[in-house]
Amino acid sequence: MKKRVDPRIARTTKMIMKSLRKLGRERGLDAITIKEITEAAQVNRTTFYYHYRDKNDVIEKTLLEDFEIYLLSPIMACEKINEETLRIIYFAFINLHYS
């Protein structure tokens, strides 16, 4: 059974990840700071550190979430690997790139 997540925690982590994605697209992941992420997400540093160890932790968790949503889910929905499956995989990568 999957554990129920408090909606406030889900909303906070979603905003932090969304801010990371936006800032990462604009300037690259190396160039952004935790301060910039928290300001964009409108949360304080303490809240950030409640959910993540450091910037690399939020990057890793964001990448894993994106991988599952944009790549793994569409692939798992395919019954077999064929031309249509390859098309789905291709567009999954495109959607991930532009998300």
As a whole number of angstroms, the distance between CA 34 and CA 92 comes to 29
Picking from 23-27, 46-50, 80-84, which range would have the lowest pLDDT averaged per residue? 80-84
In this prediction the pTM is 0.76
> Domains, the chain, ranges and CATH?
7-97 (1.10.357.10)
Name the band, by pLDDT with cuts 50, 70 and 90, for residue 5: confident
As a whole number of angstroms, the distance between CA 35 and CA 30 comes to 13
- Nearest CA to 25 among 10, 40, 47, 46? 40
| In contact, 16 and 37? CB cutoff 8 Å | yes
